[in-house]
Each structure stands twice: as C-alpha cells, then as structure tokens.
Amino acid sequence: MKKLITLIAALTLSASAVAEVVVDHPYARAVPPGQTNSAAFMSLTNDSNDEVALVAASTSIAKVVELHTHTHDNGVMKMRQIPRITLPAHQTVELQPGGLHIMLIGLKRNLVKDEMIDLTLTYNDGHSEQLTIPVTDIMAGMNHKKMDHSQMNHKMKNHSSE
C-alpha cells in the first residue's frame, strides 16, 4: 500500500513538472479546392506558475507549419512568421483570425468542413501534445472582423484631434 501511494505521488509530481497548457476550442479553417494554405486557431491557457512558449507545430496534412501573427501596416493587414507564441503564467492567449495563428502551408489535400485533422503542438520545455481538431468554415466571421477594425481606427483618430 505504501508503495502505491509513493507511486501516485511520483506521478503527480511529474505531471506538474510538465507545463500545463489547456487547449480550448481548436479548429482549422476549411479551404476551397486549389487553395494550398490554411490556418489553425484555438485558445491556449497556461495554468502553471511559469511562462511557457509554443515553439513549433506540425500536422500530417501540410508540408510546412509555421507560427504567425498579423501586423497592421497603413491599414493593410500582413502576416509574418514568429519564432514563438509566449504564454504568460495563468493567462489565456487567443489564436484567432486576424491575430496569432498556426499557419498550415502546402496542404496535401483539401480541408473539408466538419472533418478532423491532426495537429501536434511543441512547447519550449520540450513536451508536445497531439490534438485532433475539427475543420470549420469561418469566412463570414473574418469579413466582419475587418469592418470592426476600420471603424475602431476611425473613432480613435477623431478622439485625438479633439
């Protein structure tokens, strides 16, 4: 009995030594035939006391997977690759259209709405997590987001000139 308790204690310890990142509502964007790139989104919550960073991702359905962010350059939204997505302790970081995302480059086949694909996330402490995520059609949501952004900028400019 004592041995069993020791074993459970050891297992609990080793689990908490690994970064505790909770993945919520992950999904990949469905793409029409002929389009070779897509992206995956999710929210990542770091439940540990230490900062963790997502440093790599991979999937069997794309040749290359990169971590990306968006920047606004004179009203034009551009994507660029970043080496890591930092997850501060006890905070949630959203990967969403128009912001941080996991870029799936060189799709080996179409991504069809409601299918499931594999995605592996690797963190800076060396541990990785294998996910199975759904494919979702999000085109309408993206257009709405762009409109909201332009209205926000306009209002902010008016304020500063008052």
Task: Select the residue whose beta carbon is closest to Cu ion and give its number.
Answer: 68
| DSSP H or E segment with residue 73 | strand 62-73
- Residue among 19 and 102 whose Cβ is closer to Cu ion: 102
- With a CB cutoff of 8 Å and minimum separation 6, the contacts of 48 are 16, 19, 20, 21, 89, 90
Only one of the segments 26-34, 76-84, 130-138, 140-148 lies at the binding site for Cu ion (rule: CB under 5 A); that segment is 76-84
Q: How far is the CB of 23 from Cu ion (least distance, A)?
A: 19
Per CB under 5 A, the list member of 18, 103, 105, 131 interacting with Cu ion is 103
Per CB under 5 A, the list member of 68, 104, 121, 133 interacting with Cu ion is 68
Per CB under 5 A, the list member of 53, 79, 105, 131 interacting with Cu ion is 79
Could you give the C-alpha distances from 104 to 3, 35, 62, 67, in angstroms and in order?
Answer: 47, 11, 6, 9
- Residue among 55 and 79 whose Cβ is closer to Cu ion: 79
CA nearest neighbour of 80 among 93, 62, 66: 66
- Residue among 79 and 131 whose Cβ is closer to Cu ion: 79
Q: Using CB atoms within 10 A of its CB, is residue 42 exposed (0-12), middle (13-18) or buried (19+)?
A: buried
Q: Report the interface residues with Cu ion, using CB under 5 A.
A: 68, 79, 103
